[in-house]
Structure formats: C-alpha cells, structure tokens
Amino acid sequence: MFMPALAINPVTLTLGWMAAYLDYLQDASQRSMLFLDVLRRRGNQFFEHEAAGAPPVLKFDYELLIDGKDLPRPCNYLLYRIVPEAGQELDARKRPFVIVDPRAGHGPGVSGMKEDSQIGVLLRAGHPVYFISFRPDPVPGQTLEDIGVAEATFLREVSRLHPDAPKPCVTGNCQAGWAVAMLAAVAPDLAGPIILKGAPLAYWSGARGKNPMRYSGGLWGGAWVASYLSALGNDRFDGAYLVQNFENLNLANTFWTKQYNVYANIDTEPARFLAFEKWWTGFFKLTTEEMEFIVNDLFVGNKLATNQIQLSDGRQVSLKNIKAPIVVFASRGDNITPPEQALNWILDVYENDEEIIRDDQVIVYTLHEDIGHLGIFVSGRVARRETSAIYGTLEFIDELNPGLYEMLIEAADETPYDPVAVLPEYRVRFVQRSLNDIRRIDDGRDEERYFDTFAQVSEVATSWYKTFVDPWVRLGVTEQSAEALRQLNPARLQHYVFSNRNPWMWPVAVMAEAMRRNRRPIAADNPFVALEREVSTAIETWLQSVGNVRDAGMELWFKAVYGPLGLGMLFPPREGRKVPVESEAEQAFAAKAEHLRANIAEGGFRAAAARLIILLSRADKDVEPRTIQNVNRLVEHPRFAGMKPEELRALFKDQFLTLALDRQGALAALPRLLPNREEREEAAALALQVVLAGDKPNLAEKAVLDAIAASLGLEVEHLVSSMAGSPDGDIGAEVAHLRAENERLRAELTRLQQGEGLAVGND
C-alpha cells in the first residue's frame, strides 16, 4: 500500500513566504513611521497643554465658580461646575456631587476623560456635578490645611446653590481620598456620603510579595529625600518624580507594552493613547510643606488612622468624627492602593464591631477582582458597573443602620430575588460584615512592625538632614537652577526629543502623512505578525521577570535592614501608637443606650413591627435595597399614619440599636408590645411583606421566624403560606388593600352612626 505524496512546490512555498515577508516589511515600515509621528504629536501636545496652563483634561465643559487664590488663605485649588451636554437636563433638587481628583504628580480630569466616567454617569442620571481642580503651580507656602479650608468653602457654596437637595456627596479619587476623609473628620457637617476610590489610608498595609511600592522609601532611608528634592526645586516638589515612581512599578508596561500596543494597533490606538498621555505627562508641583506632610505624617508615619495628626489650632484629626456614610471602592488587582491599604484603617480606628455602632457610623466597601489602579477611575467598564451601582444606591446607603457592610454587585439573572434594580443588568445588595472579614482580606499585619522601625529611622534621618544639610543645599539653589533641573528630568526631556522642538522630527510629520494616505494594513493571518507578537510577549515576560526579581530583592532588603536583627534592635516597634479619641456620637451613645434599655417594652405596634422587620431583614446578614424601599413606604400604611419619613427612620434606628444592645431582651419584650393575637399576626404579616415580598424564607430567615413565633405564640407556617398567595408580594399592594378596607369600614361605620343618630368622630 502506498500513501500519496503531498505535492508541494518548493518554488511556490518560497514565493509565498517572500510575499508574506514583503507585506510585513511594508506594514512594519509604515507602522514605525506612524508610531514616531504619534510620539511627535504627544510631545507637541505636552508643550501646548503646558502653555495653556494645564487645564483639566475633562471631556465635559465647565465654568469657574470659586478661585482658591482669592480666598483669605490662598491656594491653587478651584471649584468648577460641570456644564451638562446638549439634551441633558439636571434636577437642582437631586443630590449634588463633588468630584476631587488626585494631586499626585498628575493634573486633574481623570474622573471625566470620557463619556463613560464618574462625571458622565452622574450627568446622565440628572445630578448636578461639581469638580474641584487645581493649577500646576502651588501658591508659595500653601499647606494641606489651606487646601482643606478652601474645599470646605467650596462645599458650602455647593450646598448654598442647592438648598432643597440633600448634602453633597464627595468622591475622593486615589490621593484625594485621604484629603476628603480628613476634611470630613474636621468638618463633619459639610457633606453627605463620602466615596473613597482607590484611596490609601492604611499606608503600611499590603500583601507579602505583591505590593512593593510601600518598601521604596526604605531604600533611601526615609522622608528626607522628599525634603531634599523640594529644596532643589526651590521649595517646589516636582510631580514628575511621583509619576516616575508609578512607572517604575511596572517595568514591562513602562518600557515596552504601552508603546508596543500603539505600534501594533497604529490605525486605532493613537487617539486613546494621546488622550491618556495628556493627563499622564501633565506634571504638577507641590510645596515643601505639602510634600513633607504627605511623606512624613502619612506614607512613612502612618499617623492618620491613629489620631496623631493635629491642625494648626491644636485639634486632632480623628476619622471617628466622620458622621456621613463612608463608601470604599478598591480592587484586588490594584498594586498601588491594594485593598489592605484601602480598608485596614477601619481596624486601626475601631477596636470591635460594636464600636462602629456606638460611633453611629456606616461603612460600605466593595471590591473589584482584577481591575488595576488607573482602571478604577478611567475604565468604562467600571463606570458602567461599580460607579453606577455606588452612585445609584446612595439613597439606600444613607438609610443603612450603623455598621460595616460589603456591597455586592451581581448579574440580574444570578440573584434568587428581584430587589430594586440600579441598572437593568445588575442587582445590588448590602451584606453585613465584621472586622474579622476585613482581617481576612489581609495575609497578616505582622510585617507592619518593620514599617514602625522605618518611621523612627526616617524621623532621625530627616532631623539630621534638616539640621546639617538642608541649609547648605538651599544656599546653592536659584529659581533658574530649579527650573533647569525640572526641564532635564527624563520625563520632560523626552518631549524635547520627540516633538517639533527637535528639527530632526520635522520630516517625520511629512513622511507620516504620506504613509497615512498610502496605508496598507497587513492581513491578520500573516505569519510574521504572529512572530512579532511572540517576540513582544517574550520581551514583556522578561521585563516582568526583571521587575519581580527587583521587587523581591527590595522586600528582602527592607526586612533585613529594618527587622529585629537590623535597625529593629535600635528602634524597636512602638506599642500603643494610637491616641485615644472619643467621638461626639460615641459620647452620646451611653445616654441613648440607657434610654433604650429602659424603654425596651415601650412603643406598641410600631416599635414591634419595626423590631420584627429588622430581625427578619438581618437574618441572613443581607440588606436589600428593596427592603429599605418598602420600609420607607410604611408612612403610607394606616398603622404608621401621620409619621414623617424622618420619624420613621428614627423609629427603625432606635429599634436596631435596641436589638444590638439586648437581642434576647428585645425578643422577650415583643408580647408586651403586642398584647393580643390579632396585633401579633398583623405585625408579623407586615414584616413578612416588607422583607420577603412574597418570596419564601431561606434557612436563616426561617430560624428567625421560629424565634419570633416562639416569642409571640404564632404559627409561622400559616403566615408564610398566606403571604405567598398575596397579590404581588409588594408592600404597596398591602398598603392599598388596607387603605381600601379602612375606607370601607369608615363608610360602614358612618352609615350605622347616621342611622342611629350618632356623631361621627375623627377615629
């Protein structure tokens, strides 16, 4: 038996490969020239943006309301009002939102660079939006406290412009997050909910082997480097240094992947690349006072969550004084502000879960699984999902009882119930969490003792630098030398090379235009394109390996130097760094608790119904927006007639605290609140309608129903089965039914009274 030979003509095969190679060569040549032109355009864009005063890189129009340089304590911050786009109508009675972008070397505008963004989501929902911006150069001598005073002025102006709306919600992105938290702690009555997105507040935290940026300061011996660079800049710290720190974090992306992505997709990628680079390479400066506070007191000293920061008037900054709900958004894929840095401050501020309740605080957090740091602010996918979910549920977050919650955002078809929809394709619910849940996110906090030693070493090194070196450095610094140093920074120098300021780049523009006119993109199945991608992947992998080795070395070096066998012997970790502070809410809680315990059997049907609703809704530690909405509609129920919404909220909060103080006692008191069987059945049925809305109880809810039944002597199975057959399981239907029944009885009573010659009363 013979196998037929494949007839392959070597000449045809060779010619085919040569044709593919020539096509690739032409395409690669065109892409190379077009890529050089993109770099040239980026350089021109850099100088044009700088000449224009580096305005925010917002997609949306805006108008200036307040300029910080005109305030009694001048600074370089400004308040803008975002102008809605054509066809968008804003409702002045809706909650206004104030967005604050980070000032960490870059300029403002990252939160509104495109339509699918934080600002875009809010405008589409009809909310007034305000933006706190800043100029590239600070006012000489300005401090972070001056900026805080200016931002407080901005918030008062926003509230003044919307007298019929709830207090403004403030979003602090990245480095702006800790500034927003400090402002809310110092002036707790200015704002409504605060949202901290990718914001570091626990600076020593992180996972072993994953978050190397926190070790970088230890390589230089402390915060004295920031003071030295500020002195060289003539009392201005160049933000380009901070941007370089971010770029050094990911060698593969900085030196290869970002550029190759533009080169490989030269026909589609330049517009996105140039828009991002306009923000990324817009370098802003900070004063010496600002930079030293940020480095000494925050990143190295980690003093914010331990109440060690004082204002100029002697007041302590304590996060326990924040009154408004706090929403934290972090991502497990963020290696700049990992979830540990975004959340561990809660463990530092609060000793236990009960303390959060005593402090009357609501903290909600939500975690993304894989998005990177910048994606938290600029990703359209995040804007459409997490950002929309957070902003869309603020009215419910505002009404949560004190405690710690995780916001879960799930696809609509994955949920076994139908709660209030925030987006058509998503459902949101709040799950009660404990401090132990936060601890489980981290892999342990033992290594933070190394950072305490490092902080002590930094204090000594900075003191020596300030005393013996800084005066001599300043003697040799002029404004001309400082500006020359800034312009020679590689982050800026590259734009002189790749821009029209370099005469050798002029022909590139002409040649690139010719390339665009005669562009012939290569076929996707060209074998040399596949080879190019394989080479690119190999380079990227190699650079990642180099970065991983470097990061592991940094971690080992840091722990060796500042560990117990190193400088830890001379500067052992300190115990009891936290300064005790008791918030106003916590001080008032003792009297409140005594009153609630004394009145545990007071309040009648309303108190009992609220207590039953809370017990049932908290059975599975899951609070659904639907339940909160149904609770708010109880003001329409005959049993709650005459109650104002704020009185209803106060009633439910009191019953929540009563259960938190004495759950067994609150259960045992139910029969005294509901003395007859009819009221007990009605209260239990109402609780089932509000919480279950026609659904069957799960195991946790069944256990709570059993406890309620034992206390009230009811048959829960009968109640559940009767509720399952109700019209639509909605509290609105129940209210309408009871109202109609009430009107029928009143009409019947009127007829009987008139027939007997009796006077009709009000009841």
Read off the pLDDT of residues 82-103 as tens digits, 9 standing for 90 and up.
999 888 899 999 999 999 999 9
In whole angstroms, give the CA distance from residue 513 to residue 298.
50
Range list of β-strands (E), 247-291: 285-287
Close Cβ partners of 378 (under 8 Å, ≥ 6 residues apart):
110, 113, 114, 117, 276
CB neighbour class for 207 (10 Å; exposed up to 12, middle 13-18, buried from 19): middle
pLDDT for residue 6: 43
> Once rounded to an integer, what is the mean pLDDT over residues 195-218?
92
Q: How large is the average pLDDT for residues 723-741?
A: 47
Which of 173, 200, 182, 110 is closest to 146 using CA atoms? 182
Residue 367's SS3 state is strand
Q: What is the pLDDT of residue 197?
A: 97
Q: Which two tokens stand for residue 692?
A: 């279950």
Closest CA to 690 of 624, 604, 605: 624
Taking residues 609-629, what's their average pLDDT? Answer: 91
Mean pLDDT of the chain: 89
Segment 308-342, tens digit of pLDDT = 999 999 999 999 999 999 999 999 999 899 999 99
- Pairing mode, if any, of strands 236-238 and 426-433? unpaired
506: tokens are 């002029």
CA 679 from chain centre, in angstroms, equals: 45
Q: Cβ distance 335 to 239 under 8 Å?
A: no
**pLDDT (0 to 100) of residue 552:** 95
Both structure tokens of 529: 């394109």
Distance (Å, whole) CA 143 – CA 145: 5
Q: How confident is the model at residue 233 (pLDDT cuts 50, 70, 90)?
A: very high
453 neighbors 577 (Cβ within 8 angstroms): no
How far is Cα 432 from Cα 430, in angstroms, rounded to an integer? 7
| Model confidence at 423: pLDDT above 80 | no
Q: Is residue 260 over pLDDT 90? A: yes
Taking CA atoms, 723 is separated from 15, 266, 537, in Å, by 79, 62, 60
Q: For residues 696 and 725, which has the higher predicted lDDT (pLDDT)?
A: 696
Confidence of residue 426 (pLDDT cuts 50, 70, 90): confident
Res 725 pLDDT > 60: no
- Beta strands of 273-417 (E only): which ranges? 285-287, 326-331, 362-368, 403-411
Selected residue with higher pLDDT from 677 and 464 = 464
- Buried/exposed 257-296: b ≥16 CB within 10 Å, e otherwise: bbebebbeebeeebeebebbbbbbbbbbbbbbbbbbbbbb
Higher pLDDT, 12 or 730: 12
Three-point CA angle 4, 7, 9, nearest 5°: 160
Q: Tell me the sheet residues that pair with 236.
A: 287
Query: 256: helix, coil or strand?
Result: helix
Return d(Cα 196, Cα 118) in angstroms, integer.
13
Residue 734 has pLDDT above 60, yes or no: no
Predicted pLDDT of residue 1: 34
**Is 402:359 a contact under the CB 8 Å cutoff?**
yes
Question: What digits encode the pLDDT tens for the residues 28-63?
Answer: 999 999 999 999 999 999 999 999 999 999 999 999
pLDDT of amino acid 744: 55
Is 492 in contact with 239 (CB distance < 8 Å)?
no
pLDDT in tens, 516-560: 999 989 888 899 999 999 999 999 999 999 999 999 999 999 999
Query: In the predicted model, is pLDDT for residue 742 greater than 70?
Result: no
**Of 159, 439, 180, 156, nearest in space to 322 by CA:** 180
pLDDT digits (tens, 9 = 90+) for 128-169: 999 999 999 999 999 999 999 999 999 999 999 999 999 999
Whether residue 376 contacts residue 328, with contact meaning beta carbons closer than 8 Å, is answered with no
How do residues 650-676 score in pLDDT, each as one tens digit?
999 999 999 999 999 999 999 999 999
Residue 4 pLDDT > 60? no
- 126, 162 in Cβ contact below 8 A? no
Structure tokens at 168: 């403004």
Cα Rg of the chain, angstroms: 31
pLDDT of residue 626: 86
pLDDT value of residue 588: 87
Which one is predicted more confidently, 2 or 96?
A: 96
Query: What string of DSSP letters covers 145-159?
Result: HHHHHHHHHHHHHHH
393-427 burial, b for 16+ CB within 10 Å, e for fewer? bbebbbbbbbbbbbbebeeeeeeeeebbebeeebb
Tell me which of 346-360, 624-638, 689-703, 728-742 is least confident.
Answer: 728-742
pLDDT tier for residue 731 given thresholds of 50, 70 and 90: very low
Residue 112 has, within 13 A of its CA and on its CB side, a CA count of: 31
Q: Average pLDDT for residues 435-455, to the nearest whole number?
A: 95
Q: Is the dihedral of CA 624, 625, 626, 632 positive or negative?
A: positive
- Answer whether residue 698 shows pLDDT above 70: yes
Please enumerate in sequence order all residues whose Cβ is within 8 A of that of 576, keeping only pairs 6 or more positions apart, or say none: none
- Distance between CA 174 and CA 342 in Å, rounded? 10
Q: How confident is the model at residue 692 (pLDDT cuts 50, 70, 90)?
A: confident
User: Does residue 238 surpass a pLDDT of 90?
Assistant: yes
The pLDDT confidence band at residue 562, using thresholds 50, 70 and 90, is: very high
Share of the chain above pLDDT 90, in %: 74
Give me the phi and psi of 341, to 5 degrees please. Answer: -70, -25
User: Crossing angle, helix 645-661 and helix 604-617, to 10 degrees?
Assistant: 70
pLDDT beyond 50 at 724: no
Whole-angstrom distance, CA of residue 345 vs CA of residue 752:
67
Strand partners, 364: 327, 405
Is pLDDT of 211 > 90? Answer: no
Helix (H) or strand (E) holding 538: helix 527-562
Q: Between 422 and 739, name the one with better pLDDT.
A: 422
Residues 74 and 142 sit within 8 Å (Cβ to Cβ):
yes
Round to whole Å and give the CA distance between 706 and 695: 17
Mean pLDDT for the stretch of residues 618-644:
90
* Mean pLDDT of the region 476-490: 96
Which pLDDT band holds residue 11 (cuts at 50, 70, 90)?
low
Question: Which pLDDT does position 461 carry in this prediction?
Answer: 97
Percent helix / strand / coil, the chain, rounded to 5: 55, 10, 35
d(CA 496, CA 510): 19
What is the pLDDT, as a whole number, of residue 762?
34
Please say if the pLDDT value at position 751 is more than 80.
Answer: no
Q: Could you give the 3-state DSSP secondary structure of residue 403?
A: strand
pLDDT at 723 over 60: no
Cα-flanking dihedrals φ and ψ of residue 289, to 5°? -60, -45
119: region left, alpha or beta (phi > 0 left; psi from -120 to 50 alpha): alpha
